[in-house]
Structure 1
């Protein structure tokens, strides 16, 4: 009994000691949390960059009344910059080439003697800068609006801490519940179609009161919107694509943020935003379009006669009252945007960036932004959105352009809106077959203006434009002609999700909510499942098959990816395009004749196909290229010498 009592005493004393240790650990954890800084961005960084500088944005109450210090080998504070708001510091660091990955404390000593600490991490890089390979003319890109593609995790549909909590699939401008997991679940479907890259529209936090589903009004540049998932799932998507030898392209926005962005409650500097004074003086009446100062005259970037007022209206006016226009002439904001892009490239191992509203920000900043990225990642790719149907304007933005004003954009790939328009108008032209096809022919003939035609980014529709099936009057043969032409051009092609099943917005052409309709089969209860083919009609299945055959051929076609291009001016309602590399020749015949027609092939002798066997890429049929060819129906004929 005595021994039992002794054991009891020992256990009691041990439990008391354990409780005291737990209490001390809890107190220490609370103290560490209490001393943690509200926000430090970038949230971490990486060693081994060419540029040894790093600028930290630090956000914390009264942080301007503190002195920061760091004791970590290879890391030094070069300068501490205060802002208009005393709740910010911008700390310039230098990271020596010999610096090792690891964590270290940034200590802040305030004027009243209090101290706060933030633990920061420098991470090792997964691969060298040269190993970040961007998209190019060998790729075919699948564009997705994530909220409307597939709901892979219903548990993240609603976050009551955010402003917009409704899920309503009957409303085209509400959230529908699609997410990153939904894309992850269907990577195999996208790969089987023949795509080699995926471009989702933005998935970063959009804590806005309404219409937050599209993602272009970001309220945090470092946080994934919880309704799409989290950073781990974003990384998982990137990893799964890489496992399939596919690339992830991130949609970024340097021009603006959302009015609900966290810094809008406490703006760091007087010039953090364009038209900031006007905004701050009229904040209670800011829903009025007349306040924002925008004219959207993008040609002022090139116009040698443009007034300063018009140029300012484009570069400094707000995109909408709900999207504050960022002033990239502020050096701290400029550094913030550049570092944010680099952080995402490293964090996700990106295969490219698509930059929204490219001609709206300060164009010299955009040159510096793109140049900084390409200097660090020489094999990377960036595509910029310039919504102009004038090839002179589009070509101005491409790297290597011979611009009159000497401007160098450093941008590899502008978007080919001129070709999109030429294809749609040319195929819809009814008055004269040849006249319509000449629009395609001359659209391609304009390539003399581009510094690198094969790096131009071509498409038939996207998340902002009427769906191509609608634009081509729901004529399947026209859609096939348009797609086959686009996919055999010296270009980087992009196809919008749902084009493969003839999705349309015919009920209200051009309506953004309708353009971004739900992909059938991506949501619980869908009667049609395009992923499995269940419920699709024959035309939809045929279009899926057509795209699959063309894209999967294109994957291994050096002629299409990097070959010589020859085309012949349209005649008798037909247009012949040839792509040639080595012993591979690909022929695309666009035929607008409703009735059978026989075409003499003597005109094309210079291509050197006489007597050679060619195969129809779609049907698999073969024949010998001879004196003539019989075209039995309107549409596209794709031929190859690869048997």
Structure 2
């Protein structure tokens, strides 16, 4: 090509002739200098891509099984300048197709993407049910589900990103330092699309939640408050209405693809292979290959195709998508859904590639198990027998959640009640880093904690206060602070994810202002606010040593200790006043020291005994100011 031809081709006149190119843009300055573009356009395989941009070179072009795809491997050298350039798709005797692509400068270095840790408290939100900030986006005519019905638990209710933005002060005042909204990406399904886990476009904010700029504004405003935005991502599956399901690039883009193609016009559970949900096959040294495959390759449900991460192009696509969102939205963490369902070697690579690029970042993975051995297996650095290293910093502590609930619901005896959580915490010896594990009283997939504890306010306070003083990262579901429940139909997902009162302009009760709340609800709100705001500044809770004493007479004590700060957590199931002998705890070194109740502010000197006047939690601290 002559100099004049190069000059002609490098002049930028923006054109966007190609239907889809993903990622939508990229950045210069990554450790990994490679980028793979997915290109989707009618018969694009007949064309040859050409790029003229200093520092950017095409390493390889891959054809797919479908003629409508190309996968282009790029190398972006350290000499590359940020800016736009044209990708020219050439074909003999046909006019060039041109698509303008942009490489951006990064807003901050990788090391400055700081994730969450044990000093944080995470507020989990189902956005459709939290607050409706913009009623104008409730119904989007071009999308498949076009109804809003707040009386239907499975319908969309209209909550959105602006609704979260409008109430950031409320969330911050409660003491939360991070927010985890369930997925906000487009779910263009025909029904029950509100929850967000059937993604149909991995690069688009669902317009019923807002737009990309709204999401970036949420992140910015949270950053200004010192808060972190955690993105809920899904690499295991997509929604059945994802755009690529109509034209799959490879014969193995999804698992059991041949069966899907054969039966897609009459698709239901009987046609697909639904996962066995036997997640222990990831660790079981005796597991059969068929059981392993049914677990990792089966579909989560019939409406959510299982993505095949063993396909190298799918693997690359997924990793790049996660990185794209970290950079685009300045994320403070990722929560990865159904962590143990995909190919586990891919999950190690996925997390490893992210953490290699962002060494101070955080990822929490969902592994729903009551077995601490399985939780330990998924945490990075665990000495697994099979040599597996997940690169995952933070598994979720479903085991502790279950024990907290069961112990509070049991009558106290030598082998039931508080002894259950005492023994559960003793399992921390199995964890590489217990303080990096995320613990919670409930979440969007299980009954509300107030329901699980049979409407007992004192037990609910004990559950929340206990997990907030553990060497863990606490996550609390929206509405727990006002005792939201699902008494009418325990376990019903739509009811668990009920509307937060006050999130809609015509609500008679407004939990954001306190209007219409009962005294009990207001008391719970104040309790969590005082607890979490104390926790924010407690180095003993964030980093301190943990000592607990065997429960006795319906009372269980746990201490967190760092230098001069000691936090004392007392759980008491006695309904009548009981005198607690403090001499048993002399090894803590509290004798004669002033302590303060962090909820009531009452101060006294630690002596030989105290009287616990009522059932519930007492949280004391030697930090008086």
- Which residue among 225, 228, 231 is the counterpart of 2:212? 231
Where do residues 383-422 of structure 1 align in structure 2 (5 Å cutoff)?
383-422=364-403
Question: Which residue of the partner structure matches residue 302 of structure 1?
Answer: 283
In structure 2, C-alpha distance between the alignment counterparts of 1:125 and 1:438, rounded to whole Å:
51
Shift of 1:284: 2.1
Conserved 8 A contact 2:168-2:222? yes
In structure 2, C-alpha distance between the alignment counterparts of 1:522 and 1:67, rounded to whole Å:
52
In structure 2, C-alpha distance between the alignment counterparts of 1:32 and 1:382, rounded to whole Å:
37
Question: Which residue of the partner structure matches residue 22 of structure 1?
Answer: none
- Which residue among 124, 139, 143 is the counterpart of 2:105? 124
- Which residue among 260, 266, 283 is the counterpart of 2:241? 260
Question: Which residue of the partner structure matches residue 175 of structure 2?
Answer: 194
In structure 1, C-alpha distance between the alignment counterparts of 2:229 and 2:415, rounded to whole Å:
40
Shift of 1:434: 6.5
Question: Which residue of the partner structure matches residue 462 of structure 2?
Answer: 481
Deviations 1:177-233 (A, max 9, x none): 000000000000000000000000001000001000000000000000000000000
Question: Which residue of the partner structure matches residue 8 of structure 2?
Answer: none
Shift of 1:484: 0.6
The answer as to 2:619 corresponding to 1:626 is no
Where do residues 143-542 of structure 1 align in structure 2 (5 Å cutoff)?
143-289=124-270, 291-430=272-411, 432=413, 435-542=416-523
In structure 1, C-alpha distance between the alignment counterparts of 2:436 and 2:491, rounded to whole Å:
28
In structure 1, C-alpha distance between the alignment counterparts of 2:602 and 2:414, rounded to whole Å:
27
Where do residues 45-56 of structure 1 align in structure 2 (5 Å cutoff)?
45-56=26-37
What SS class does the counterpart of residue 520 from structure 2 fall into? helix
In structure 1, C-alpha distance between the alignment counterparts of 2:460 and 2:495, rounded to whole Å:
19
In structure 1, C-alpha distance between the alignment counterparts of 2:379 and 2:95, rounded to whole Å:
52
In structure 2, C-alpha distance between the alignment counterparts of 1:314 and 1:184, rounded to whole Å:
39
Deviations 1:216-271 (A, max 9, x none): 00000000000000000000000010011000000000000000000000000000
Shift of 1:537: 0.2
In structure 2, C-alpha distance between the alignment counterparts of 1:555 and 1:292, rounded to whole Å:
47
Q: Normalising by structure 1, what TM-score?
A: 0.94
- Which residue among 66, 78, 81 is the counterpart of 1:85? 66
Structure-2 change in CA distance of 1:399 and 1:386 (3 Å): same
Question: Which residue of the partner structure matches residue 622 of structure 2?
Answer: 641
Deviations 1:266-311 (A, max 9, x none): 0000000000011111112221345224211111000111110110
**Would you tell me which structure has more helix in proportion to its own residues?**
1
Conserved 8 A contact 1:352-1:382? yes
In structure 2, C-alpha distance between the alignment counterparts of 1:613 and 1:306, rounded to whole Å:
57
* Runs of at least 4 residues off by over 6 Å: none
Deviations 1:313-359 (A, max 9, x none): 00000001100000000000000000000000000000000000001
Deviations 1:93-139 (A, max 9, x none): 00001211100000000244321000000001111000000000000
- Which residue among 597, 606, 614 is the counterpart of 1:616? 597
The answer as to 2:594 corresponding to 1:596 is no
In structure 2, C-alpha distance between the alignment counterparts of 1:291 and 1:329, rounded to whole Å:
19
Structure-2 change in CA distance of 1:613 and 1:125 (3 Å): same
In structure 1, C-alpha distance between the alignment counterparts of 2:507 and 2:413, rounded to whole Å:
43
Q: Normalising by structure 2, what TM-score?
A: 0.97
Conserved 8 A contact 1:174-1:211? yes
Conserved 8 A contact 1:275-1:293? no
The Cα RMSD (Å) is: 1.1
Deviations 1:422-461 (A, max 9, x none): 0000001025387210111111110001110000000010
Question: Which residue of the partner structure matches residue 101 of structure 1?
Answer: 82
What SS class does the counterpart of residue 183 from structure 1 fall into? helix
Consecutive unaligned residues in structure 2, runs of 5 or more? 1-11
Question: Which residue of the partner structure matches residue 11 of structure 1?
Answer: none
Aligned residue-pair number: 613
Consecutive unaligned residues in structure 1, runs of 5 or more? 1-28
Conserved 8 A contact 1:434-1:573? no
Conserved 8 A contact 2:333-2:363? yes
